[in-house]
Chain A
Amino acid sequence: MRNASITVFAIAALAAGAAYAQNPSDPQIAGIVVTANQIDIDAGKLAKSHTKNKEVQGFANQMIKDHTAVNKQAVALAKKLKVKPAASDTQASLKKGASENMSNLKKLKGKQFDKAYIDHEVDYHQAVLDAIDKTLIPSAQNAELKGLIEKVRPAIAAHLDHAKMIQSKLGG
């Protein structure tokens, strides 16, 4: 769990830092958006198959559903704009963090799993929200790409609130 938090902190720091170092290009933003969604779909699928907690199950289903829908639109928009999602340091860091989180979660069972999954979801959505506000929206050049990210923001904020609600029920 601690490892997961450290990983997410690293993601947030890197995403925020990117704004100061070099703003990501639109193809890089598209790559970050698609990767960030896919990471949460994969974590949701793992949670769905591991948890017996009804609320965690419901949350995992929502993550799969919502992030799949967002990715579908992100990929369609990238195709329409002829923007090929490109690699970036942020994307690489997201992938690394996700891989560490998945390895950590796979070692856990029952309530320990539920807590680790939800704790990470809280941190992850907070990090994504920060990246949206500090890096992705300010850096996006294409209006439609910026518009999609702005449209996605309330969903990410709602996911964060939902994860926090479950976190408080699962206990400290």
Chain B
Amino acid sequence: MPGIGRILTLAAAIALSPGAIAAGKSHQVVIEGIKFVPERIEVAVGDSITWVNKDPVPHTVTNAAKKIESGTIDPNGKWKYVVRRKGDIDYVCRFHPGMRGTIAVK
């Protein structure tokens, strides 16, 4: 029977091994020129998206129905969201009518 120390070592090795937990990919959406770029992004469940605000004005990433709300993303600010479910998510900027984006979750 393996000793407790060996079990712990084995558990640590599994936890630290790359790929032991399937980490999602990282994606980026740039906010620039009062637009989300790209406007449509395809991702998988578990992936993360970071919005980077390169505009001189604040923005939000919002889908009220799906309770997605970044809060104010100031100029040069960022906001990260991890996708948990399949299906398209349409979002807007609460401050600027006409600013729309879509997260297509495969």
**Chain A interface: which size bin?**
10 to 19
Asked whether, in the complex, the Cβ of A66 is within 8 Å of the Cβ of B98, the reply is: no
Asked whether, in the complex, the Cβ of B55 is within 8 Å of the Cβ of A151, the reply is: yes
B56: interface (CB < 8 Å): yes
Asked whether, in the complex, the Cβ of A162 is within 8 Å of the Cβ of B34, the reply is: no
B46: interface (CB < 8 Å): no
B82: interface (CB < 8 Å): no
Asked whether, in the complex, the Cβ of B34 is within 8 Å of the Cβ of A158, the reply is: yes
Report whether over half of chain B's contact residues are helix, strand or loop; otherwise say mixed: loop
Interface string of A51-85 (1 = CB under 8 A from B): 00000000000100110011001000000000000
Closest to A157 in B: B34
Report whether over half of chain A's contact residues are helix, strand or loop; otherwise say mixed: helix
Interface string of B33-60 (1 = CB under 8 A from A): 1110000000000000000001111100
User: Which residues on B sit within 8 Å (CB–CB) of A161?
Assistant: 98
Asked whether, in the complex, the Cβ of A66 is within 8 Å of the Cβ of B58, the reply is: yes
A151-B56, A155-B55, A155-B57 known; A69 vs B74 contact (CB < 8 Å): yes
Interface centre among A148, A158, A162, A165 (most CB of B within 10 A): A158
User: Which residues on A sit within 8 Å (CB–CB) of B58?
Assistant: 65-66, 69
Closest to B95 in A: A62
Residue from B35, B54, B95 in contact with A65 in the complex, judged by beta carbons closer than 8 Å: B95
Residue from A66, A148, A154 in contact with B95 in the complex, judged by beta carbons closer than 8 Å: A66
A143 → chain B closest CB, angstroms = 16
User: Which residues on B sit within 8 Å (CB–CB) of A148?
Assistant: 56
Asked whether, in the complex, the Cβ of B97 is within 8 Å of the Cβ of A152, the reply is: no
User: Which residues on A sit within 8 Å (CB–CB) of B56?
Assistant: 69-70, 73, 148, 151-152, 155
Q: How far is B54's CA from A9's CA once the two chains are assembled, in angstroms?
A: 32
Closest to B72 in A: A65
Asked whether, in the complex, the Cβ of A162 is within 8 Å of the Cβ of B96, the reply is: yes
Q: How far is B57's CA from A157's CA once the two chains are assembled, in angstroms?
A: 13
